[in-house]
């Protein structure tokens, strides 16, 4: 059987790619081979449950799944952070989050439900989806030759040929292994996670009515709650099936994997670091659904596609950063969009062999721009002074630059990207300089974590930035938006630096100042930081 595209692996990346391809090219012949048999278990299936704005936009707008998401999955109440390490009472520590929903929506995804539903959707869209189909071997065709794939299905051997072969096999990395494309990075964090078959609601941990009333609606459980401390964070993610996902992500230098790699050990660790969560989970032990861990989950890739040889990697088969801000689904959205462009271009006889390396450079530049946000930054998670400002910075960078490129469909526009090259390179440089500066500031911070709410919804410029993601911009408006956001990054960096230097005059600020000087900006007319920070 010959197909235009064969996708190896029908997880999130493979299924959403199949859907995107068929939406763009309704006559495209697409085969998805997934080794697991459907229906998949709900809840205890995979991690990758918290979506952020790029993935949410991809699912809801590019793939047209908004109604589905509203009906079957959960509306996420943004990110929320508590500096609650060792704290007996979560209401007494610093909370960072929005008191009310910000306008641009994202979702909590039960991966089992989602993949079951997506499998039905791709079939309804005309994709041939084979579950219980194990890919055993393949031969990559070169320079336009057909690829060959051998797989077992229903106890029989099958063979298929394809013009395009896409590896969406996740960490199995079928093409990556074959071509020796694995590339480690310097980010060494590890993670353990498990699911509990009922809700975990931080509101159940207190009777404090003032604290409970801080959020409207009072549904903190719908957030991706981050319980943070030095060198680690714990995630709490609600799932539409009724379960709750819990994960511990840590820097091995501060929290070695051996101290966490079983449910009992993770519980002992939580008893010390997050006692209220421990008490809640202890009462729900009978509801444990699974337990898993990954050492060193972050990695890069030497090459993610070839236009002339017509193969591509997408999702975790390519690269993965870190779950702290849930970028996994974003990178799936981005690589799937590039692959769709290449397949479509190839059919239209466009010079995809030349286009592919440009797309690849853009894709890698996003990975490289995001990596410094995580690498070496876990030690500063202890700081309820520096970390909220890092989150503010990281979000401004994400919404102000990355999201603009994706929401406005500029990433696949190589001319636009070439035009923006200098601006984007500067945004990368200032991000690296700010991350270095934050790391030094975090090391100097004493770790006070006063009771307060740092409310993102009340920070008008920040909420407006979130709202503006949905705007449709022509070229002039897009250029103006990007320039304004770069100026905002400059101003924010300036205010962060001023505050830090007032507290710790000896912090090394030369590198940051040098990057800021490359692109002068007038000081901001307003205070960009939270108004209720402690006096500097």
CB of 80 to ligand FAD, least distance (A): 14
Query: If binding is defined by CB under 6 A, does position 169 make contact with ligand FAD?
Result: yes
Query: If binding is defined by CB under 6 A, does position 9 make contact with ligand FAD?
Result: yes
Interactions with ligand FAD, residue window 185-224 (CB under 6 A): 191, 193
Query: If binding is defined by CB under 6 A, does position 12 make contact with ligand FAD?
Result: yes
CB of 312 to ligand FAD, least distance (A): 12
At 296, list the tokens: 């060193």
Cβ pair 76, 240 in contact under 8 A: no
Single residue of 5, 6, 11, 387 touching ligand FAD by CB under 6 A:
11
R_g (Cα) of the chain, nearest Å: 23
- Residues in contact with ligand FAD, counted by CB under 6 A, come to a total of 39
Single residue of 50, 377, 396, 485 touching ligand FAD by CB under 6 A:
50
* Closest CB to ligand FAD among residues 135, 312: 135
Which span sits near ligand FAD by CB under 6 A: 68-76, 168-176, 204-212, 516-524? Answer: 168-176
* Closest-CA residue to 167 (of 8, 3, 391): 8
At 4, list the tokens: 């235009």
Query: If binding is defined by CB under 6 A, does position 14 make contact with ligand FAD?
Result: yes
Cβ pair 138, 147 in contact under 8 A: yes
Single residue of 134, 279, 470, 480 touching ligand FAD by CB under 6 A:
134
Cβ pair 122, 63 in contact under 8 A: no
At 68, list the tokens: 């589905």
- Coil, helix or strand at residue 154: coil
CB of 15 to ligand FAD, least distance (A): 8
CB of 173 to ligand FAD, least distance (A): 9
Locate the DSSP E strands across 358-517. Answer: 452-455
Give the Cα separation of 26 and 3 in Å (integer): 14
Judged on CB neighbours under 10 Å (0-12, 13-18, 19+), 334 is: buried
Query: If binding is defined by CB under 6 A, does position 385 make contact with ligand FAD?
Result: no
* Closest CB to ligand FAD among residues 7, 516: 7
Give the Cα separation of 132 and 38 in Å (integer): 7
* Closest CB to ligand FAD among residues 23, 296: 296
Q: What is the DSSP string of 48-77?
A: --B--HHHHHIIIIIS--HHHHHHHSEE--
CB of 507 to ligand FAD, least distance (A): 32
CB of 168 to ligand FAD, least distance (A): 5
* Closest CB to ligand FAD among residues 36, 439: 36
CA distances from 385 to 90, 130, 389, 410, 431 (A): 17, 51, 7, 35, 19
* Closest CB to ligand FAD among residues 48, 442: 48
**Burial annotation 480-517 (CB, 10 A radius, 16+ → b, else e):** ebbeebbbbbbbbbbbbbebbeebeeeeebeebeebbe
Give the Cα separation of 361 and 377 in Å (integer): 25
Question: Could you identify the residue written with the tokens 């794939």?
Answer: 149
CB of 63 to ligand FAD, least distance (A): 14
Which span sits near ligand FAD by CB under 6 A: 32-40, 75-83, 420-428, 500-508? Answer: 32-40
CB of 480 to ligand FAD, least distance (A): 30
At 266, list the tokens: 């993770």
* Closest CB to ligand FAD among residues 229, 329: 329
Interactions with ligand FAD, residue window 292-331 (CB under 6 A): 294, 297, 315-317, 320, 323, 326, 328-329
Give the Cα separation of 121 and 18 in Å (integer): 10
CB of 181 to ligand FAD, least distance (A): 15
Interface characters, 221-250, with ligand FAD (x: CB under 6 A):
--------------------------x---
* Closest CB to ligand FAD among residues 34, 394: 34
Cβ pair 135, 151 in contact under 8 A: yes
At 359, list the tokens: 């797309």
Give the Cα separation of 429 and 434 in Å (integer): 9
Interface characters, 455-494, with ligand FAD (x: CB under 6 A):
----------------------------------------
Give the Cα separation of 223 and 238 in Å (integer): 8
Query: If binding is defined by CB under 6 A, does position 47 make contact with ligand FAD?
Result: yes
CB of 193 to ligand FAD, least distance (A): 6
At 71, list the tokens: 């009906």
CB of 339 to ligand FAD, least distance (A): 12
Residue 512: HSE in the Cβ half-sphere, 13 Å Cα cutoff: 26
CB of 471 to ligand FAD, least distance (A): 24
- Coil, helix or strand at residue 146: coil
CB of 366 to ligand FAD, least distance (A): 14
φ, ψ (nearest 5 deg) of residue 260: -130, -5
Query: If binding is defined by CB under 6 A, does position 170 make contact with ligand FAD?
Result: yes
Q: What is the DSSP string of 497-518?
A: HHHHHHH-TTS--HHHHHHHHT
Single residue of 3, 22, 35, 490 touching ligand FAD by CB under 6 A:
35
Contact residues toward ligand FAD (CB under 6 A) are 8-14, 33-36, 46-51, 55, 134-135, 168-170, 172, 174, 191, 193, 247, 294, 297, 315-317, 320, 323, 326, 328-329, 332
């Amino acid at each position: 059987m010959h197909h235009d595209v064969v996708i190896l692996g029908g997880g999130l990346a493979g299924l959403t790619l199949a859907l995107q391809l068929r939406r763009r090219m309704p006559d495209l012949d697409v085969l998805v081979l997934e080794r697991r048999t459907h229906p998949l278990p709900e809840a205890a299936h995979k991690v990758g449950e918290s979506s952020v704005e790029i993935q949410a936009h991809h699912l809801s707008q590019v793939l047209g799944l908004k109604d589905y998401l509203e009906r079957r999955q959960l509306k996420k109440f943004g990110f929320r952070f508590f500096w609650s390490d060792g704290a007996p009472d979560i209401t007494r520590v610093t909370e960072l989050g929005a008191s009310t929903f910000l306008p641009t929506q994202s979702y909590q995804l039960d991966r089992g439900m989602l993949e079951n539903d997506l499998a039905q959707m791709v079939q309804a869209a005309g994709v041939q989806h084979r579950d219980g189909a194990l890919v055993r071997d393949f031969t990559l065709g070169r320079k336009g030759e057909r690829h060959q794939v051998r797989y077992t299905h229903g106890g029989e051997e099958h063979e298929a040929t394809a013009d395009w072969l896409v590896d969406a096999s996740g960490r199995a990395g079928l093409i990556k292994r074959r071509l020796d494309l694995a590339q480690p990075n310097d980010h060494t964090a590890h993670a353990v996670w498990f699911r509990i078959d009922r809700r975990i609601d931080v509101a159940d941990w207190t009777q404090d009515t003032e604290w409970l009333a801080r959020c409207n609606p009072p549904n903190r459980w719908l957030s991706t709650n981050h319980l943070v401390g030095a060198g680690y964070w714990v995630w709490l993610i609600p799932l539409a099936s009724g379960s709750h996902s819990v994960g511990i992500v840590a820097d091995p230098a501060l929290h070695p994997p051996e101290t966490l790699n079983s449910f009992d050990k993770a519980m002992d660790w939580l008893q010390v670091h997050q006692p209220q969560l421990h008490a809640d989970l202890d009462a729900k032990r009978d509801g444990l659904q699974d337990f898993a861990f990954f050492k060193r989950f972050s990695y890069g890739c030497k090459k993610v596609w070839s236009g002339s040889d017509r193969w591509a990697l997408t999702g975790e088969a390519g690269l993965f950063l870190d779950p702290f801000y849930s970028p996994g689904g974003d990178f799936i959205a981005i690589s799937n969009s590039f692959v769709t462009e290449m397949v479509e271009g190839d059919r239209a006889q466009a010079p995809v062999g030349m286009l592919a390396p440009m797309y690849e450079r853009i894709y890698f530049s996003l990975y490289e721009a995001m990596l410094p946000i995580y690498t070496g930054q876990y030690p500063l998670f202890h700081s309820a002074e520096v970390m909220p400002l890092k989150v503010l910075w990281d979000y401004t960078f994400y919404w102000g630059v990355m999201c603009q490129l994706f929401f406005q469909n500029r990433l696949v526009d190589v001319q636009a990207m070439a035009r923006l090259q200098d601006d984007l390179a500067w945004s990368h440089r200032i991000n690296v300089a700010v991350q270095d500066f934050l790391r030094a500031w975090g090391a100097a911070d004493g770790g006070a974590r006063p009771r307060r709410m740092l409310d993102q919804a009340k920070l008008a410029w920040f909420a407006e930035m979130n709202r503006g993601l949905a705007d449709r911009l022509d070229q002039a408006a897009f250029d103006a938006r990007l320039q304004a956001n770069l100026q905002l990054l400059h101003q924010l960096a300036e205010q962060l630096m001023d505050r830090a230097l007032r507290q710790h005059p000896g912090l090394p600020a030369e590198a940051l100042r040098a990057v800021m000087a490359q692109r002068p900006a007038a000081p901001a007319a307003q205070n960009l930081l939270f108004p209720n920070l402690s006096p500097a």
